[in-house]
């Protein structure tokens, strides 16, 4: 039986709500926009248009996936970050708004640095490195990850945004395969403690790559490595900027060796939670 756009959206919103998906009506609209490649204005202005059988079947399929907890971004394959669209797959963490604060901090410390060289540790989708290269046309970057699949996604995003000539992709566990000196190291490392993983939203714990979420134990092992090994790959007065977990501010501050680093700031996110650590090599 044929369904209009309005009827299909109502049916989908009911299914998503029953599946425990927040903002079910909005999510239904996003999914239908994706399936028929039309914006929300079209959905409103053509509410009585009938969906063809193929589109309706496809729409019901993606609604069922979303109702089971699969993130919208993995279904559509895209996520906006810092005003640009990035390709995302289940091989990479979905970029979050808090990480835009890391980009802002990085751009601030690079102000006045000519032709900076940047290292992005745990690049994932490449959203940080690619964004910095888009914002700083004189910059170059090395994007590091332990996942070949993640590096492939990051490379696709670099091509999409026209920065592929200024970025190198290196399969490496932190700095293990790195021998350059950088003006800036940036990282959104895995920082969720092992005992906190079970409490994450189902969209996160069941679908996003665990290796990008948690290093196990107390969640600080990669952060410790960045602080310990970072000076060896930084130029004098170079910066390390990293994202941390909501409850890690004091513990991370205790890990900062004053003989190695000067703490510049721990910047809060929009919820006033300590989120972005900025340190400078002594």
Give domain status of residue 74, yes or no.
Answer: no
Domain count, the chain: 2
The token duo for 174 is 């932190």
What string of pLDDT tens digits covers the 282 residues of the chain? Answer: 689 999 999 999 999 999 999 999 999 999 999 999 999 999 999 999 999 999 999 999 999 999 999 999 999 999 999 999 999 999 999 999 999 999 999 999 999 999 999 999 999 999 999 999 999 999 999 999 999 999 999 999 999 999 999 999 999 999 999 999 999 999 999 999 999 999 999 999 999 999 999 999 999 999 999 999 999 999 999 999 999 999 999 999 999 999 999 999 999 999 999 999 999 999
SS3 for 235-273, per residue? EEEEEEEEECCCCCHHHHHHHCCCCCEEEEEEEECCCCC
Domain limits at 39?
5-68
**Alpha-carbon distances of 117 from 226, 235, 263, rounded to whole Å:** 17, 10, 21
* DSSP β-bridge partners for residue 85: 80
Which of 213, 229, 78, 226 lies closest to 157 in space, CA to CA? 78
* Dihedral of the alpha carbons of 17, 21, 25, 31, in degrees to the nearest 10: -120
Q: Do 57 and 84 sit in the same domain of this protein? A: no
Q: Do 135 and 25 sit in the same domain of this protein? A: no
Q: Do 83 and 170 sit in the same domain of this protein? A: yes
DSSP 139: -
Q: Do 46 and 103 sit in the same domain of this protein? A: no
Predicted confidence at residue 1, as pLDDT, reads 66
Predicted confidence at residue 2, as pLDDT, reads 81
**Alpha-carbon distances of 37 from 44, 51, 89, 173, 218, rounded to whole Å:** 14, 12, 19, 39, 43
Q: Do 64 and 83 sit in the same domain of this protein? A: no
């Amino acid at each position: 039986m044929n369904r209009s756009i309005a009827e299909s959206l109502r049916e989908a919103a009911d299914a998503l709500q029953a599946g425990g998906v927040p903002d079910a009506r909005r999510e239904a609209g996003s999914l239908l926009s994706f399936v028929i490649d039309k914006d929300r204005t079209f959905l409103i202005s053509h509410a009585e248009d009938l969906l063809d059988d193929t589109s309706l079947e496809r729409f019901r399929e993606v609604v069922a996936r979303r109702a089971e907890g699969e993130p919208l971004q993995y279904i559509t394959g895209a996520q906006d970050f810092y005003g640009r669209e990035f390709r995302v797959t289940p091989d990479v963490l979905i970029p979050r708004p808090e990480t835009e604060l890391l980009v802002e901090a990085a751009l601030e410390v690079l102000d006045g640095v000519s032709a900076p060289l940047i290292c992005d540790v745990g690049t994932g989708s490449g959203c940080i490195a690619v964004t910095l290269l888009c914002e700083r046309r004189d910059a170059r970057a090395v994007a590091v990850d332990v996942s070949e699949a993640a590096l492939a996604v990051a490379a696709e995003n670099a091509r999409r945004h026209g920065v592929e000539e200024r970025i190198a992709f290196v399969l490496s566990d932190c700095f293990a395969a790195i021998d350059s000196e950088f003006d800036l190291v940036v990282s959104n490392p895995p920082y969720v403690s092992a005992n906190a993983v079970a409490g994450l939203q189902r969209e996160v714990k069941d679908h996003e790559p665990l290796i990008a979420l948690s290093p196990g134990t107390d969640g600080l092992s990669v952060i410790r490595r960045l602080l310990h090994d970072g000076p060896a790959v930084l130029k004098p007065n170079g910066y390390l900027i990293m994202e941390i977990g909501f409850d890690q501010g004091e513990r991370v501050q205790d890990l900062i060796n004053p003989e190695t680093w000067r703490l510049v700031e721990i910047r809060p996110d929009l919820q006033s939670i300590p989120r972005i650590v900025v340190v400078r090599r002594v």
